[in-house]
């Protein structure tokens, strides 16, 4: 189903990707639900919700993807949206047409999807989810699609009509974000009072589901248990092979890997420090593996607004709200200085296992719009020190920590801030050993230019809560780029429309009118010429690089491994578990 080293030469890596993807020897496929249980690790925190409208974390999204259908199917071989007749899988849309003016998309739905209570999945289930997203009282991170989509309507039970605000080159990317919710359940619970959705018990104990698996139970601190749903209409074998699927909590990556080696976990991502070892073990045939040349982006988000008084960027009429400035990161020179103070090779060896690729901006190298010539910030402590001095941060007493001496916040906001130390809190998710190592290295590197960093690994859900609440100084996490690739994703993280306290992804409160203008031009360019769109996006990437609301640290090859005994393991690029409904795991 869909839902997205320096010791190895590039050519070898390409060959290795193919070799690692070869499944175990063909064998007779077990019958419905007779294929054993798939077990995944979950380290860091419990899922926060099973409601796709409210979800903003990967742990929740992973469960949702198994128990709720997608709106649009994806062809796993080409990595883009396609109807079932063209190889698309895992989506309720059977086909679609586009009006000549590019404004109206009409989707015909499959008639074989049902909820677990037997109720058909219909157009009303798409419309209800859209109405929740469009309602300002719902704490959703999906508000960015409201800029592109004007209306979502049900012409009849099997037809969804979506009208755009303007023709968009990436319309399907935005439309695909709309979840599918059981409208008959939600209407009975809350009617059209969508504010009640935020705290509904239905979010963590769904009454009905529709997917390859159904919801059995959620035991906080332990696991989420799903059962095979044989009413799923898209089983690749004509049915769902595994008997169920478990998301099992483990305290950290080290324990997760130990449990994998004990055959207690079916499939996981290999921590950086063990990748070289597991490449060899996969090549030796001990395990099956999947290599992706481009993993998630690691970044440090720097809050540019006042964390003591968080404000959304815009009021209900779309007028700007004064958000104040962060005492430290409100000055772009400080943000640039922290970039120059980073020695990436030390990070790569100490936290990335030597597999990292330094990043320069908000893009991965597999994107068609990626700025290949935009270099990352070089390691230059002299430049970092000069920028901090220029910004009014000086070590006045020789203790190694700079103090405000005419810094921006003291001169423009609060004169009593004069003399305050250059100290801030850096938070990340506990349990990820690589992230914890990365935080310690950054703490040390930034101390060398006079910053006092309070590094704190904390519970992931607490981290996300503080991030969306905009009460943080600096947060270090991963960003998963959408699949299929869509460079318009910069709008999700850096547009003022998505700077919403409590839900928006522009939690750093970045706002540059030129960036907003360029992104809109690229999305709505008549004819959608890719070369012209690339030029527009690359100007955006340059501005983001220069102004650094995030510090883009790096990405790199990722290695995931499955037990050698898993039958039908057949990963596709960016969709390694797309066919898990036909995996067969020997019973213990």
Three-class SS of 399-427: CCCCEECCCHHHHHCCHHHCCCECEEEEE
* Token reading at 351: 């936290």
pLDDT in tens, 409-423: 999 999 999 999 999
Contact 208, 117 (CB under 8 A): yes
* C-alpha to C-alpha distance for 421 and 260, rounded to whole angstroms: 46
Mean pLDDT of the chain: 92
Q: Which residues of 535-571 are buried (b: 16+ CB within 10 A; e: fewer)?
A: ebbbbbbebbbebbbbbbbbbbbbbbbbbbebbbbbb
* Token reading at 371: 């700025």
Q: How many other CB atoms sit within 10 Å of the CB of residue 34?
A: 14
- pLDDT at 90 (0 to 100): 94
How confident is residue 296, by pLDDT bands cut at 50, 70 and 90? confident
Q: How many other CB atoms sit within 10 Å of the CB of residue 419?
A: 11
Q: What residues are paired with 474 via a beta bridge?
A: 302, 426
What mean pLDDT comes out for the span 112-120? 99
Q: How many other CB atoms sit within 10 Å of the CB of residue 71?
A: 22
For residues 222 and 588, which has the higher predicted lDDT (pLDDT)? Answer: 222
Look up the CATH architecture of domain 69-210: Alpha-Beta Complex (3.90)
High-pLDDT (> 90) share of the chain, %: 84
Contact 294, 479 (CB under 8 A): no
How confident is residue 556, by pLDDT bands cut at 50, 70 and 90? confident
pLDDT in tens, 444-483: 999 999 999 999 999 998 999 999 999 999 999 999 887 6
Q: Which helix (H) or strand (E) holds 429?
A: strand 423-429
For residues 113 and 431, which has the higher predicted lDDT (pLDDT)? Answer: 113
N-term to C-term CA, the chain: 25
Q: What is the DSSP string of 311-347?
A: --SB-TTS-B------TTTTSHHHHHHHHHT--HHHH
* Token reading at 125: 């289930």
pLDDT in tens, 212-221: 999 999 999 9
- pLDDT at 3 (0 to 100): 33
* pLDDT for 568 beyond 70: yes
What mean pLDDT comes out for the span 374-389? 98
* pLDDT for 78 beyond 90: no
pLDDT in tens, 303-333: 999 999 999 999 989 999 999 999 999 999 9
Cα dihedral: 121, 176, 187, 104 (round 10): -90
- pLDDT at 27 (0 to 100): 60
* pLDDT for 21 beyond 60: no
- pLDDT at 294 (0 to 100): 65
* Token reading at 464: 């996300």
How confident is residue 79, by pLDDT bands cut at 50, 70 and 90? confident
What mean pLDDT comes out for the span 289-309? 90
- Under 8 Å CB-to-CB from 274, ≥6 apart: which residues? 257, 353
Q: Which helix (H) or strand (E) holds 184?
A: helix 183-190
CATH, domain range 1-48+213-286+559-588 = 3.40.190.10
pLDDT in tens, 483-518: 677 899 999 999 999 999 998 899 999 999 999 999
What mean pLDDT comes out for the span 10-22? 32
Widest Cα–Cα separation across the chain: 75
* C-alpha to C-alpha distance for 266 and 288, rounded to whole angstroms: 11
Sort 333 into a burial class: Cβ within 10 Å, 0-12 / 13-18 / 19+: middle
- Report domain extents, the chain: 1-48+213-286+559-588, 69-210, 297-556
* C-alpha to C-alpha distance for 309 and 210, rounded to whole angstroms: 42
* Token reading at 465: 């809560």
Please tell me the least confidently modeled range out of 315-319, 385-389, 400-404: 315-319
* Token reading at 536: 């527009």
What is the third-level CATH fold of 297-556? Dipeptide-binding Protein; domain 3 (3.10.105)
Q: Model pTM greater than 0.85?
A: no
Contact 363, 555 (CB under 8 A): no
Q: How many other CB atoms sit within 10 Å of the CB of residue 217?
A: 11
- pLDDT at 173 (0 to 100): 93
DSSP letter, residue 88 = -
pLDDT in tens, 167-179: 999 999 999 999 9
Q: How many other CB atoms sit within 10 Å of the CB of residue 14?
A: 13
- pLDDT at 295 (0 to 100): 66
* Token reading at 278: 């597991």
pLDDT in tens, 32-66: 999 999 999 998 789 999 999 999 888 999 999 99
């Amino acid at each position: 189903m869909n839902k997205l080293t320096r010791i190895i030469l590039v050519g070898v890596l390409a060959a290795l990707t193919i070799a690692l993807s070869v499944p175990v020897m063909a064998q007779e496929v077990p019958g419905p639900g007779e294929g054993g249980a798939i077990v995944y690790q979950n380290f860091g925190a419990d899922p926060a919700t099973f409601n796709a409208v409210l979800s903003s974390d990967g742990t929740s999204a992973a469960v949702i993807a198994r128990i709720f259908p997608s709106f649009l199917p994806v062809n796993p071989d080409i990595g883009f949206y396609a109807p079932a007749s063209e190889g698309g899988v895992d989506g309720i849309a059977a086909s679609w047409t586009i009006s000549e003016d590019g404004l109206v998309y009409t989707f015909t739905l499959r008639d074989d999807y049902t909820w677990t209570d037997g109720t058909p999945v219909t157009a009303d289930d798409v419309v209800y989810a859209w109405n929740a997203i469009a309602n300002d009282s719902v704490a959703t991170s999906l508000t960015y699609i409201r800029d592109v989509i004007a209306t979502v309507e049900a012409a009849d039970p099997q037809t969804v009509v979506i009208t755009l605000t303007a023709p968009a080159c990436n319309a399907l990317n935005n439309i695909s974000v709309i979840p599918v919710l059981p409208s008959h359940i939600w209407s009975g619970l809350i009617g059209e009072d969508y504010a009640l959705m935020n705290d509904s018990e239905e979010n963590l104990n769904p009454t009905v589901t529709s997917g390859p698996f159904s919801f059995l139970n959620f035991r906080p601190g332990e696991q989420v248990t799903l059962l095979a749903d044989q009413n799923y209409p898209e089983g690749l074998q004509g049915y769902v092979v595994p008997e169920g699927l478990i998301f099992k909590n483990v305290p950290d990556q080290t324990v997760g890997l130990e449990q994998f080696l004990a055959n207690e976990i079916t499939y996981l991502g290999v921590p950086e420090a063990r990748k070289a070892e597991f490449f060899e073990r996969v090549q030796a045939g001990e395990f099956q593996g999947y290599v992706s040349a481009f993993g998630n982006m690691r970044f440090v988000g720097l809050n540019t607004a006042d964390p003591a008084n968080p404000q959304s960027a815009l009021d209900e009429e779309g007028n700007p709200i004064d958000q104040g400035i962060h005492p430290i990161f409100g000055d772009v020179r400080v943000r640039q200085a922290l970039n120059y103070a980073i020695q990436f090779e030390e990070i790569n060896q100490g936290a990335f296992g030597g597999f990292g690729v330094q990043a320069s901006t908000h893009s991965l190298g597999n994107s068609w719009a990626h700025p290949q010539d935009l270099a990352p910030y070089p390691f230059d402590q002299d430049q970092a020190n000069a920028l901090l001095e220029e910004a009014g941060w000086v070590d006045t007493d020789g203790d190694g920590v700079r103090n405000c001496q005419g810094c921006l916040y003291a001169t423009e906001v609060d004169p009593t801030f004069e003399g305050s130390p250059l100290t801030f809190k850096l938070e990340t998710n506990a349990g990820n050993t690589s992230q914890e190592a990365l935080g310690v290295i950054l703490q040390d590197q930034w101390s060398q230019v006079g910053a006092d960093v309070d590094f704190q690994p904390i519970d992931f859900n607490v981290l996300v809560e503080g991030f969306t609440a905009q009460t943080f100084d600096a947060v270090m996490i991963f960003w998963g780029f959408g699949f299929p690739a869509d460079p318009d994703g910069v709008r999700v993280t850096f547009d003022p429309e998505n700077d919403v306290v409590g839900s928006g992804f522009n939690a750093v409160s970045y706002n540059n009118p030129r960036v907003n203008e360029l992104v809109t031009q690229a999305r709505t360019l008549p004819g959608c010429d890719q070369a012209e769109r690339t030029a527009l996006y690359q100007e955006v990437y340059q501005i983001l690089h220069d102004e650094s609301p995030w510090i883009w640290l790096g990405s790199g090859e990722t290695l995931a491994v499955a037990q050698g005994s898993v039958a039908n393991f057949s990963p596709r690029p960016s969709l390694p578990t797309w066919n898990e409904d036909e995996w067969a795991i020997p019973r213990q």
